[in-house]
Amino acid sequence: MSTRTPLTSVHYKKMQHYAAVREHDLRVRNSILNVGLDETALNHASRISGRHIFSLELPSAKITAQEKSGRCWLFAGLNTLRYKIMQKHEIENFELSQSYLMFFDKLEKANYFLENILETRDKESDSRLLMWLLNAPLQDGGQWDMFTALVEKYGIVPKDRMPESFSSKDSSRMNAVLTHVLRGNAAELRGTYRKGTGIAELKARKAEMVQEFYRLLTLFLGLPPEQFIWEYTDKNKIFHREDNCTPLSFYRKEFPEGLHDYVSLIHAPTADKPFMQTFTVQYLGNVEGGNPVKYLNVELPQMKAAVIRQLQDADPVWFGSDVGKKMKREDGILDASVYEYERVLDTQFTLDKGGRLEYGESLMTHAMVISGVNLQGTRPERWKVENSWGDKYGDQGYFVMSDSWFDAYVYQAVVHKKHLTPEMRKAWERKPRVLKPWDPMGSLAGSM
pLDDT score of 448: 56
**Regarding predicted confidence, which is higher, 23 or 319?**
319
Determine phi and psi for 181, rounding to 5 degrees. -60, -45
How far is C-alpha 9 from the geometric centre of its chain's CA atoms?
47
**pLDDT tens digits, residue range 231-272?**
999 999 999 999 999 999 999 999 999 999 999 999 999 999
In degrees, rounded to 5, the angle at the alpha carbon of residue 120 between the alpha carbons of residues 116 and 125 is: 115
* Alpha-carbon distances of 362 from 197, 282, 411, 441, rounded to whole Å: 44, 20, 10, 11
CB atoms within 10 A of CB 30: 10
- Pick the catalytic residue from 111, 286, 291, 366: 366
In a domain, 367, yes or no: yes
Q: Is 385 helix (H, G, I), strand (E, B) or coil?
A: strand
In a domain, 411, yes or no: yes
If one counts the domains in the chain, the total is 1
Nearest to 340 by CA among 328, 329, 351: 328
In a domain, 371, yes or no: yes
Task: Please confirm, yes or no, whether 72 is among the known catalytic residues.
Answer: yes
Alpha helices (H) in 243-287, listed in sequence order? 247-254
Lowest-confidence pick of 46-50, 66-70, 271-275, 331-335: 46-50
How many helices (H) and strands (E) the chain has is answered by 16, 14
In a domain, 10, yes or no: no
In a domain, 41, yes or no: no
pLDDT score of 290: 94
- Pick the catalytic residue from 72, 79, 111, 419: 72
- Pick the catalytic residue from 43, 111, 286, 387: 387
In a domain, 161, yes or no: yes
pTM above 0.75, yes or no: yes
CB atoms within 10 A of CB 230: 18
**pLDDT tens digits, residue range 280-292?**
999 999 999 999 9
**pLDDT tens digits, residue range 189-210?**
999 999 999 999 999 999 999 9
pLDDT score of 23: 85
Nearest to 384 by CA among 79, 11, 29: 79
According to DSSP, the residues that pair with 415 across neighbouring strands are 263
| E strand or H helix at 233 | strand 228-233
In a domain, 36, yes or no: no
Buried b (16+ CB within 10 A) or exposed e, 344-359: bbeeeeeeebbebbbe
Residue 13 pLDDT greater than 60, yes or no: yes
Distance CA 98, CA 106 (A): 12
Which residues span the domain enclosing 218?
Answer: 56-284+291-446
Distance CA 266, CA 260 (A): 18
Domain with residue 245: its CATH number is 3.90.70.10
Task: Please confirm, yes or no, whether 387 is among the known catalytic residues.
Answer: yes
In a domain, 44, yes or no: no
